[in-house]
A and B are shown apart, each in its own frame.
Chain A
Amino acid sequence: GENVEQHPSTLSVQEGDSAVIKCTYSDSASNYFPWYKQELGKGPQLIIDIRSNVGEKKDQRIAVTLNKTAKHFSLHITETQPEDSAVYFCAASENTGNQFYFGTGTSLTVIP
């Protein structure tokens, strides 16, 4: 089955700096890659996603890049704010349904 690896496990940045989280996947059949933000006591919230026919997608301060050849995708958060502090998960899925494989999470702390 699919194996998704995520790095780093923890990340601290100063407010206003950029944060980058990287994931790799193993199954070349995976074609949908969402990113989730989970705050304490809440379920994961989708923040951005990308499909395999696209190399990059941006939504305000958040962007995701995908390299299908290398089987890796990354989350970029610019101009970080304290409210960006949370655990971020990457995931991968192929076109057989909604079985998602998640990375192990990155705990992001934005220092004011």
Chain B
Amino acid sequence: KAGVTQTPRYLIKTRGQQVTLSCSPISGHRSVSWYQQTPGQGLQFLFEYFSETQRNKGNFPGRFSGRQFSNSRSEMNVSTLELGDSALYLCASSRSGRPNEQFFGPGTRLTVL
């Protein structure tokens, strides 16, 4: 069974730009969560989508948004990029919407210059 895939793996943007990251969950998984990982703040929850609906949201500004499609694939968008948005963005999928085993993708490394 294929694992969670994330594209692109690396991205370089400049301040003020916007970016869209993509995540394809494991087949049959309907829950997709996004996390930001930085050396200073660790792993921080961004949001979770389940059956195309945002189920939970972390404490991030409105510049961070996401969506989920009917095939469970998910995208997250960051608008008006800031230097502090440089991070590894991880996507995790789970079979159900309740706390369950989460399987992480390799992440997208975003660098904002």
Contact = CB atoms under 8 A, between A and B. Distances in A.
Interface of A: 31-32, 34, 36, 41-46, 49, 89, 91, 93-105
Interface residues of B, number: 27
B43 A98 contact: no
A48 to B, nearest CB: 10
A23 to B, nearest CB: 13
Nearest to B107: A43
8 A-B pairs closest in CB distance: A43-B104, A32-B99, A102-B43, A93-B99, A99-B56, A97-B55, A97-B56, A44-B104
Contact of B98 (A36, A97, A103): A97
Contacts of A36: 104
Contacts of B107: 43
B102 A46 contact: yes
